[in-house]
Amino acid sequence: RSTTPIPSSYLSDRIGRTEAKLQKAIIMHACSWISLALGLLCSFQSSHAFVLPTVGPIRIASSSSSSTVVASSSNNDVPDMEYLKAQLLEYLEKRREVGADELAQKEIGKVIGGTKGNAVLDFVSGSPNKEKVLDKAPDALDYGELNKYGFGHLVTPIMKAGGRFEMYRMLELEAPETRIALKRLSTPKLVIDREGKNDPTRYTGLKLGQVLDDSAQAAALEATLKQKREEQEALEYEMPFADKRNVSPKQTPDWTPERLDEWGMSQGRVEAWARRAKAGEFVNDPDESPDLTLPQRAFSIFTILLIATAFGKSTDSFLVDLVGLVPDKATATTFKETLQAPAIGLFVASIGSLVLSYTQAGEQNRNPTLWAVKG
């Protein structure tokens, strides 16, 4: 094994990287916990059942009161109605103190739910997935209102005692209207159609022989034929050969001087195009391609290397340190200045070849852009 000591700079660099990774991991865990807490808070705020009252403290039911109601209900499944009534009266008094009716009116138009698509909120939220707009203020004995003001322990006894409407009757309060109107069930009347009069698919016999009077049939046929003859006679008269270009009387020949002139001009254009095509005016050189020949490639590479060596900033270090072609940088600078004159000459020659190729391409029936690039 090697006994070479590890440099201190290497150790400090590794320690710094480890600390950076630990800080990054701590920040990521903190962000995940913060996002989870925000998700829980949003889910509780979006649920109508978990909205906290904005005025007054929240009443937390004492263990003795809840245990009394639960104990009485667990014995014989019938809660203590007197105690339940006293608790409800206390709850109504609490609502009057905090102005719960005015707060309930502010709930109209509020949007609850809307957690669909969020996995965290779907898991922790008790609100509906789809958004719902409240169109009616919550009633006084709604279970959500009982939970809001700290009387949630009364929900189960109220259910066992007959529900909210039974509590309204016990407290001699006006019960609210039901939000969903119940439809009366009606039994359809059974009708036995023995003859099939109400059956649309019932066979009614052939309809081809409904008209039995021969004279009536003959009169109808005569009227139909007369109508067809009138329609044929009412068609517009179309002069023969009206679709031709010559619409003059038939004694005038089709070959008018105008038609002869047009025909001669078209024949002349065809012959002129044939002569130009025969002369090779429209023929492009099939050998013309963007590929460079071997001499062109060698010249291009040599010119680029010469210009890079003559005007490059790192030529001195390259010639002295890497290649060792010259002993010192002074000699390398002199050598580089010597190469600058031929490099400038080759560059000017390339530009001149480009311009000359572009101007001569049109006369030679070549592509000017392609010739300029290859020049």
Mapping DSSP onto H, E and C, the string for 62-117 reads CHHHHHHHHHHHHHHCCCCHHHHHHHHHHHHHHHHHHCHHHHHHCCCCCEECCCCC
| Residue 83 vs residue 3, higher pLDDT | 83
**Positive or negative torsion for Cα 134, 140, 141, 143:** positive
* Banded model confidence at residue 64, pLDDT cuts 50, 70, 90: very low
* Banded model confidence at residue 329, pLDDT cuts 50, 70, 90: confident
Candidate from 12-21, 141-150, 213-222, 226-235 with smallest mean pLDDT: 12-21
Q: How far is C-alpha 132 from the chain's CA centre?
A: 25
- pLDDT at position 57: 38
Candidate from 29-43, 46-60, 161-175, 249-263 with smallest mean pLDDT: 46-60
- Kindly state the average pLDDT of the residues 303-312: 82
Q: Is the pLDDT of residue 55 over 50?
A: no
Domain count, the chain: 2
End position of a domain, from candidates 141, 170, 199:
170
**Positive or negative torsion for Cα 248, 251, 257, 259:** positive
- Alpha helices per DSSP H over the chain: 8-46, 63-76, 81-98, 100-105, 119-124, 143-148, 155-160, 164-170, 214-233, 257-278, 294-311, 315-317, 329-361, 368-374
End position of a domain, from candidates 151, 170, 189:
170
Length in residues, the chain: 375
Q: What burial class does residue 125 get, using C-beta atoms within 10 Å of its C-beta: 0-12 exposed, 13-18 middle, 19+ buried?
A: buried
- pLDDT at position 237: 61
3-state secondary structure of 43: helix
- Kindly state the average pLDDT of the residues 320-348: 77
- Kindly state the average pLDDT of the residues 217-239: 79
* Banded model confidence at residue 238, pLDDT cuts 50, 70, 90: low
Q: How far is C-alpha 363 from the chain's CA centre?
A: 55
Half-sphere exposure of 212 (CA within 13 A, CB side): 2
Phi/psi of residue 34, nearest 5 degrees? -65, -45
Kindly state the helix (H) or strand (E) to which residue 132 belongs, with its residue range. Answer: strand 132-133
- pLDDT at position 11: 61
End position of a domain, from candidates 113, 138, 170:
170
- Kindly state the average pLDDT of the residues 272-301: 75
| Residue 61 vs residue 219, higher pLDDT | 219
DSSP 283: P
Residue among 371, 373, 374 nearest 363 (CA): 371
- pLDDT at position 241: 61
- pLDDT at position 94: 86
- Kindly state the average pLDDT of the residues 363-374: 76
Domain range for 350: 294-374
Phi/psi of residue 219, nearest 5 degrees? -65, -40
Q: Is residue 147 included in any domain, yes or no?
A: yes
For 83-99, the pLDDT digits (tens) are: 888 888 888 888 888 88
Q: Is residue 53 included in any domain, yes or no?
A: yes
* Sequence-ordered list of residues with C-beta below 8 angstroms from that of 348, at least 6 positions apart, any chain: none
Torsion of CA 124, 125, 131, 135, to 10 degrees: 180
Q: Is residue 82 included in any domain, yes or no?
A: yes
Highest average pLDDT, of 49-58, 88-97, 119-128, comes from 88-97
Candidate from 27-31, 155-159, 198-202 with smallest mean pLDDT: 198-202
* Sequence-ordered list of residues with C-beta below 8 angstroms from that of 309, at least 6 positions apart, any chain: 315, 336, 339, 343
Q: Is the pLDDT of residue 78 over 60?
A: yes
For 165-188, the pLDDT digits (tens) are: 888 888 888 777 776 666 677 787
- pLDDT at position 171: 84
Rounded Cα distance between 371 and 281, Å, is 18
Q: Is residue 370 included in any domain, yes or no?
A: yes
**Residue 19, amino acid:** E
- Kindly state the average pLDDT of the residues 210-220: 70
| Residue 41 vs residue 286, higher pLDDT | 41
Q: Is residue 12 included in any domain, yes or no?
A: no
Tokens of 24: 């990054």
- pLDDT at position 239: 64
DSSP string, 354-372: HHHHHHHHTTTT--HHHHH
**Positive or negative torsion for Cα 153, 159, 161, 164:** positive
Residue among 112, 111, 115, 119 nearest 129 (CA): 115
Residue 199, CA distances (Å) to 149, 163, 191, 207, 210 in order: 63, 50, 12, 18, 22
Q: Is residue 10 included in any domain, yes or no?
A: no
Q: Is residue 317 included in any domain, yes or no?
A: yes
- pLDDT at position 261: 86
Q: Is residue 77 included in any domain, yes or no?
A: yes
Q: Is the pLDDT of residue 73 over 70?
A: no
Residue among 142, 160, 161 nearest 152 (CA): 142
